[in-house]
Structures are given as structure tokens and as C-alpha cells.
Amino acid sequence: MKVKVLKVLSNLTTTILFITFILMAFVVISSKASGGEPNFLGYQLKTVLSGSMEPTFKTGSIIAIEPVEGKVSFSKGDVITYMKDQTNLVTHRIHEVIGSGETLQYLTKGDSNKDPDNEPVLAANVIGEYTGFTIPYLGYLMNFANSKMGGALLLIIPGLLLLGYSIITITSAIRELEPSKKEETSVSS
């Protein structure tokens, strides 16, 4: 019974380490390939860098947005991600829809902000809509994974853990075989 439990725990540990290694490899490779946050099943994963949308999502969370293409119109209350300028993305809730057609704009507001944002967002600057999927605090890991040191560590550490665990497993299997060989030798003598 004890051996069976140990074998199940051993298999479970190996599986968890292997899955961790694969997930970390996916995160690092996907982050590097996309030049930032990874894409998963057609959704873009974005890191929340400020608390302007708390309590909807917390700083350091990962959120999934559905990319928008072409002319898509949104309604008051929708949460959108848009280009604030050439380098900054913002995710805020639509407070008011202004105009229509070519002049469509959105006045946005962070959930924890007192007042709406100063400038309306052009519909053309919207890159995606928040899907409601959030993983708290994983954004800190994603930002770390995007650094050179983080990318290397997130691939190397799970790999070393898997290698170390394999060595331990092989060593214990060899120890189990050695008493059997000694018994065979003493019986045949």
C-alpha cells in the first residue's frame, strides 16, 4: 500500500513539474514572439499596470481582451482597451458614447476614478474588448518573464527541478534493485 501511494505521488509530482515546465515555456516563447503579452486561443492577454479599474481587476492581474477589427461599436458600460498614444494602452469602461459613424468616440472612465478621462477615445483607437477573464497577480510574473533574466529563469528553473526529480527517482529505483541483486547472489552461493 505504501509503495502504491509513493508511486502515485511520484507520478503526480512528475506530471506537475512537466506541466509547469511546458506552461513556462509557452509563456516565455509566446511573450517573446508577440513582443509583449501572449495570445491564447485568439485572445490577447494584457497586464494591468494601474489600479484605475479596481475592483473589476487589480493591479498586476492578467486580463483577456478580444481583439476588434474593422468598425465595431460599443455601448455604455463596455470595458475596452485602446491606444492612448503611440506606446500606451489603457483599459477603461465606456462612460458615454459620443457621435456615430466616422465621428464615433467614447468617453471612458476607470472604475475607481472619480471623473471620466479628459479626452474621448476615437473608435479607431480601440484595439479590444475586455472578456471578463482575469487572473489576479499573474501579470507580475508575465512582466518578469518578458525580461531577459526572467525568461531564462522561467525556463531553466522548472527544467532543473524536473531533471533533479528524475535523478532522485532513478536513484531510488536503482536502490530498490540492488537489494534484490544481493539476495539473488547470496541465494545462488
CA end-to-end span of the chain, whole Å?
33
111 closest CA partner among 82, 140, 79: 79
- Please tell me the distance from the alpha carbon of residue 50 to that of residue 175, in angstroms, as a whole number: 54
**Catalytic residue chosen out of the listed positions 50, 73, 112, 147:** 50
The DSSP annotation for 44-110 comes to EEEE--SSTTTTTS-TT-EEEEEE--SS----TT-EEEEESSSS-EEEEEEEEEE--GGG-EEEEE-
Residue 50 appears among annotated catalytic residues: yes
Active site residues: 50
